[in-house]
Amino acid sequence: MKKLVLLSAFVASAFMVNAQKAGNVFVGDNQGKPFQLGSDKNMKTILEAIKAYNAVNHDAEIALWSEELIKKSGEGHKKSMETLTSVTNKPMAILPVKVQGSSDEIVLVQSTEERSFKNGSKQNLNLFELFYIDKAGKISNMQQYVNIPATNEFGKTSGGKYISSKPGSEANGSSLQFSNRGEVAAIENLAKAWNAMDVKAFADIIADEVSIEAYDGTKSKLTNAMLPAEFAQYKSLDWKPGLILPFKLTNTDPASGILVYSSEKRVLKDGTVWDKDLVELFGFNLAGKINSITQFAREKTKK
């Protein structure tokens, strides 16, 4: 963190040494133009905005915004502020700049922030933000980049711990992280296909062979060729996922595991009714297909 502050100071001094212009814009309408130092006036505007923010004063903060930004983000900002009991943003370095020849400025701010929410949660963040100031001196846009400290209560990209049952496993002790390769949609579509007893749609989501360990400990294999016979035994199926949690081991290949909490009712053609609450672990292979299912079950919770 200290290195970033020193870097900001170095950049500021570099602008002054080089006739107040340096750097380059590589995209957009200003491509090829250098930057110049901005004004202390706009820096003070940002400090006033931060002061209002720290006071959880929505009205005082948006008074510094442009009309366009208020229309675009004002209501969302108000709702966000209403979730807070307190917030403390501490600027570490501020650098106002502008593209050469432009009347608008960008104020770069490096800061730390502590948030306490009405629901009891707390959050600590390291921030780098860009505040765009129009020629009227109003904040016209904002961009925020976040670094989440390891001590933060939530929002981290990895956490938890995998404890392997195999001695000497390389994965033992690994943390977990969310996976995002379409697993949630796959489970939702799997439920639709299962309930509709749609062989083709179901087969499109699973691998050629799926290893299944049922709630009673029995193990079996399910292949695409077996699906017509599997569905043929049922009169109706009603599987309702209530929670879908996709995750994978940190710093490993993209194969993932999906934890699904659900309820399911199966009515067989012989009149038998199978009605349970389930927790299931679906394994997704490298191709993004379901290749394993481990199931735990209990009788439906009585209401």
Q: Is the pLDDT of residue 185 over 50?
A: yes
Give the full edge-to-edge strand order of the sheet including 176-178: 176-178, 234-249, 256-268, 273-284, 290-299, 206-213, 219-223
Q: What is the pLDDT of residue 218?
A: 96
Instruction: State residue 8's pLDDT score.
Output: 52
Q: 205: Cβ–Cβ under 8 A, 6 or more apart, which residues? A: 186, 189, 190, 193, 289, 290
Residue 1 has a pLDDT of 46
Query: Is this structure's pTM higher than 0.85?
Result: no
pLDDT in tens, 105-126: 999 999 999 999 999 999 999 9
Task: Please state the domain extents for the chain.
Answer: 2-147, 176-299
The answer as to CATH 3.30.300.130 being correct for domain 2-147 is no
Residue pLDDT, tens place only, 229-274: 999 999 999 999 999 999 999 988 999 999 999 999 999 999 999 9
How high is the pLDDT of residue 303? Answer: 67
Q: Does domain 176-299 have CATH number 2.40.50.140?
A: no
User: Identical fold at 2-147 and 176-299?
Assistant: yes
